Amino acid sequence: MLEEIGFADIEIGPPSDTFGGAGGEPNARAFEVYGYPFLARKPG
């Protein structure tokens, strides 16, 4: 998706537990939901 809108040099980092302590934490655990940091460059 990022490439489709013109980003290049896309890097995706390791998974991160972004739901720890949140109300939806049990659901996030059940569905193995994680956040991922990313870095991309938009040429131009």
- Biggest alpha carbon–alpha carbon distance for the chain: 43
How far apart are the C-alpha atoms of 22 and 35, rounded to whole Å? Answer: 14
What is the residue-averaged pLDDT of the chain?
Answer: 92
What SS3 state is found at 27? helix
CA angle (35 as vertex; 43, 16 as ends), nearest 5: 115
What pLDDT sits at residue 44? 86
What pLDDT sits at residue 19? 86
Confidence of residue 16 (pLDDT cuts 50, 70, 90): very high
What pLDDT sits at residue 18? 87
pTM of the model: 0.62
